[in-house]
């Protein structure tokens, strides 16, 4: 299953072993980890007597079927579109609110109770309510994803803005920089690694948002595909969208991780 | 009329009195050095003159006007460089020009002579973390000079440089000061540097930070390279050494610079 993110990693990075494994060694272990799990799963499925336990091979076959029938493509597109739009709206609004909260104390004081409370709330709880309000179309899904994505982005952005070194703000001051230019030259670049961390953490949440919304609306999307197949006990077919979601999440997460590492690399000096 | 006039300037940080009733006058186009033990309030004084922090008491006048905030004609060279880590050396040097609305390409053209002046050709595209401390300091220096300010406030601007580079930079600074008629306030820990460069040296003492002596430096300009051989130089040097030593009973000597 997906290695769920527990690494709210700070800019200082983690601890390191004394002897680092070589690049090849790392790759080897990475690959054997993957193979091992798949093999164990396959063996277990073959030994099992229940028809509900399916192995990886059956999932691969089911993938072929779902691609051939066009179902996978159609539903994936629908999910991806809602996810992308929701991600965009959620992260832009999270960014704006985060910047304001981080930079202006009074905005922080005013908004903090809402942000803290809602961040701590299991947001899936409001999904049925939102669907009643917004209907069974894509609008509901987009709004739900936006809300899920908003909080990690806003909170990380605000934290990043508060971490902007005062020395650099004073430097901007000393050159008579106007507020907007200080944002452009100092505040945003300084907070950028935090912002990317927020985006990275929000990918997983956004995907949860899409899938749960699709369970509830039960009209289209990968969530609906999982639901409809598993209700008919088509276990292999219902696992196909799960694998697709897993890969999508993993790819996005890793990409953002690389961007983030690249940025931190360039400013090690500070 | 003095270009910079600090009257009764006071500053507290909590219960620390950083500056107490400090007076200072700097004439237009004058080169004044500030000598004093660590923690006596030199940086605080410069930040107040630059308009970055308000004094708790007293007033600083620049060109007859009370200082209320940062001014475009004044630039502060910071003791700890303060480069933008996400910008290359050349873009850091161009920072002030960019803020004045100059296009990126033109600003890069414009700063080239300053980059050469501080000896950083070939490092234009390096990020601060790829530069040594001394190189970062020179980027900060070039950044301040590039906007050609009337008043240059310098907080130990050569503190991280080796002896040779330091002398080259001193000469360059004097050349620019001469050519562009700047007013310079120069904080240093080096008595020799203060004597070689300045028209006037003010010596500060700590707790509260104040000026205990102002010494006119009599040597005509341009000054010879063997200035240190002059008996008056030795005499002034000894005098400043004594002043600094008496102001600093808890330490063994003048902080090295
Ligand atoms: N922002 C601040 N907050 C609290 N105390 C401060 C602050 N800035 C300066 N001080 C205190 O004021 C005094 C003077 O500090 P300042 O930095 O001006 O000294 P300085 O003469 O520049 O020393 P150095 O030669 O070591 O740079 C010190 O005791 C310092 O602890
Ligand atoms: Mg200082």
- Measured CA to CA, the distance from residue A208 to residue A202 in angstroms comes to 10
Q: Beta strand pairing status for B183-188 and B151-155?
A: parallel
Which domains does chain A possess? Answer: 2-35 (no CATH), 58-269 (1.10.3720.10)
pLDDT of residue B72: 95
Please give, rounded to a whole number of angstroms, the shortest distance from the CA of A107 to a CA of chain B: 24
Ligand 2 centroid to residue B229 C-alpha, Å:
30
Which domains does chain B possess? Answer: 4-34+52-71+80-226 (3.40.50.300)
pLDDT of residue A71: 92
Q: Residues with Cβ < 8 Å from B140, sequence gap 6 or more? A: B77, B78, B81, B82, B83, B92, B157
pLDDT of residue B1: 75
- A-chain CB neighbours of B98 within 8 Å are 185
pLDDT of residue A15: 60
pLDDT at B249 over 60: no
> Which of B46, B70, B77, B93 should we substitute to test contact with A (largest number of A Cβ atoms within 10 Å)?
B70
Q: Which of A168, A170, A181 lies at the smallest CB-CB distance from B99?
A: A181
A–B CB contacts, 8 A cutoff, strictly below? 57
What is the maximal distance between C-alpha atoms in chain A? 76
Ligand 2 centroid to residue B48 C-alpha, Å:
13
Residues of chain A under the 50 pLDDT cut: 1-13, 270
Which residue among B11, B17, B18, B45 is best mutated to probe the pocket of ligand 1, counting the most ligand atoms within 8 A of its Cβ? B18
Atom of ligand 1 nearest to the CA of B79: 27
pLDDT of residue A264: 83
Please give, rounded to a whole number of angstroms, the shortest distance from the CA of B131 to a CA of chain A: 9
- Measured CA to CA, the distance from residue A82 to residue A87 in angstroms comes to 8
Please report which ligand is nearest the Cα atom of B206: 1
Please report which ligand is nearest the Cα atom of B13: 1
- Measured CA to CA, the distance from residue B117 to residue B129 in angstroms comes to 21
Torsion angle in degrees (nearest 10) through CA of A41, A47, A53, A56: 40
pLDDT of residue A205: 93
Q: Which range is least confidently modeled, A1-15, A69-83, B33-47, B109-123?
A: A1-15
Are A269 and B75 within 8 A, CB to CB? no
pLDDT digit string, tens, across residues B163-173: 999 999 999 99
pLDDT-derived band at B256, boundaries 50, 70, 90: very low
A4 burial (CB, 10 Å; 0-12 / 13-18 / 19+) is exposed
- B-chain CB neighbours of A185 within 8 Å are 84, 95, 98-99
pLDDT digit string, tens, across residues B173-183: 999 999 999 99
- A-chain CB neighbours of B78 within 8 Å are 167, 171, 174
- Measured CA to CA, the distance from residue B234 to residue B237 in angstroms comes to 5
Are A176 and B127 within 8 A, CB to CB? no
pLDDT of residue A52: 87
CA-based R_g, chain B, Å: 18
Torsion angle in degrees (nearest 10) through CA of B216, B40, B128, B74: -50
With a 6 Å cutoff on the Cβ, whether B52 touches ligand 1 is no
For B129, which DSSP code? G
pLDDT digit string, tens, across residues B60-84: 999 999 999 999 999 999 999 999 9
With a 6 Å cutoff on the Cβ, whether B38 touches ligand 1 is yes
Chain A contact present for B2, CB below 8 A: no
Which residue among B6, B11, B13, B212 is best mutated to probe the pocket of ligand 1, counting the most ligand atoms within 8 A of its Cβ? B13
What is residue B67's three-state secondary structure?
Answer: coil
Contact B201, B174 (CB under 8 A): no
> Which of B62, B79, B86, B146 should we substitute to test contact with A (largest number of A Cβ atoms within 10 Å)?
B86
pLDDT of residue A19: 77
With a 6 Å cutoff on the Cβ, whether B40 touches ligand 1 is yes
Q: Where are the beta strands (DSSP E) in A90-158?
A: none
Length of chain A: 270
CB contact residues (below 8 A), chain B span 57-76, against chain A? 70-72, 75-76
Q: Which of B52, B86, B127 lies at the smallest CB-CB distance from A174?
A: B52
The token duo for A264 is 């931190």
pLDDT at B257 over 50: no
Atom of ligand 1 nearest to the CA of B45: 18
Backbone angles phi, psi at B55, to 5 degrees: -75, 155
pLDDT of residue A165: 96
Share the mean pLDDT of chain B.
93
pLDDT digit string, tens, across residues A151-190: 999 999 999 999 999 999 999 999 999 999 999 999 999 9
Asked if this assembly's ipTM is beyond 0.90, the reply is yes
Sole residue written with tokens 């390409």: B105
Chain B contact present for A8, CB below 8 A: no
pLDDT of residue A123: 87
CB contact residues (below 8 A), chain A span 195-234, against chain B? none
- B-chain CB neighbours of A269 within 8 Å are 85, 127-129
With a 6 Å cutoff on the Cβ, whether B44 touches ligand 1 is yes
- B-chain CB neighbours of A167 within 8 Å are 78, 80, 82
Closest residue by CA, ligand 1 atom 2: B13
């Amino acid at each position: 299953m997906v290695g769920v993110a527990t690494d709210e990693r700070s800019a200082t990075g983690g601890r390191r072993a004394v002897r680092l494994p070589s690049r090849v060694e790392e790759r080897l272990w990475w690959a054997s980890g993957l193979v091992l799990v798949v093999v164990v799963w396959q063996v277990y499925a073959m030994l099992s007597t229940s028809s509900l336990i399916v192995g990886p091979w059956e999932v691969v076959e089911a993938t072929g079927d779902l691609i051939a029938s066009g179902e996978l493509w159609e539903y994936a597109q629908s999910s991806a579109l809602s996810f992308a739009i929701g991600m965009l709206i959620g992260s832009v609004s999270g960014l704006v609110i985060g910047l304001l909260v981080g930079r202006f104390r009074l905005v922080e004081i005013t908004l903090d109770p809402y942000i803290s409370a809602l961040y701590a709330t299991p947001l899936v709880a409001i999904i049925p309510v939102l669907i009643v309000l917004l209907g069974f179309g894509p609008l509901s899904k987009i709004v739900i994803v936006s809300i899920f994505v908003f909080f990690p982005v806003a909170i990380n952005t605000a934290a990043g803005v508060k971490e902007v070194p005062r020395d650099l703000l004073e430097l901007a001051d000393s050159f008579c920089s106007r507020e907007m230019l200080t944002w452009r030259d100092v505040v945003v670049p300084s907070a950028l690694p935090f912002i990317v961390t927020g985006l990275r953490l929000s990918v997983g949440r956004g995907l949860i948002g899409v899938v749960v919304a699709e369970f509830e609306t039960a009209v289209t999307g990968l969530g609906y595909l999982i639901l409809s197949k598993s209700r008919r006990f088509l276990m292999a077919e219902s696992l196909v969208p799960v694998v697709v979601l897993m890969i999508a999440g993993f790819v996005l997460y890793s990409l953002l991780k690389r961007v983030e590492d690249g940025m931190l690399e360039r400013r090690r000096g500070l | 009329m003095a270009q910079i006039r600090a009257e009764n300037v006071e500053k507290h940080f909590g219960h620390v009195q950083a500056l107490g009733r400090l007076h200072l006058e700097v004439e237009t186009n004058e080169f004044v050095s500030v000598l004093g033990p660590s923690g006596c309030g030199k940086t605080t004084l410069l930040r107040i003159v630059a308009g970055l922090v308000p004094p708790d008491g007293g007033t600083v006048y620049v060109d007859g006007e009370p200082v209320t905030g940062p001014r475009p004609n004044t630039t502060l060279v910071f003791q700890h460089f303060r480069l933008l880590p996400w910008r290359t050396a050349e873009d850091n040097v161009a920072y002030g020009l960019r803020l004045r609305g100059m296009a990126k390409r033109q600003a890069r053209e414009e700063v080239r002579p300053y980059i050469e002046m501080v000896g950083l050709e070939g490092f234009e595209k390096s990020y601060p973390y790829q530069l040594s401390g001394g190189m970062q300091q020179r980027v900060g220096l070039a950044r301040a000079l590039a906007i050609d300010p009337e008043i240059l406030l310098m907080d130990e601007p050569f503190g991280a440089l080796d002896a040779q580079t330091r002398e080259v930079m001193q000469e360059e600074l004097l050349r620019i000061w001469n050519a562009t008629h700047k007013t310079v306030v120069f904080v240093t820990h080096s008595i020799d540097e203060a004597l070689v460069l300045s028209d006037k040296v003010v010596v500060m003492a700590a707790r509260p930070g104040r000026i205990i002596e102002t010494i006119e430096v009599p040597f005509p300009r341009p000054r010879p390279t063997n200035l240190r051989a002059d008996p008056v130089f030795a005499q002034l040097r000894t005098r400043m050494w004594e002043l600094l030593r008496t102001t600093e009973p808890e330490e063994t000597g003048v902080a090295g610079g």
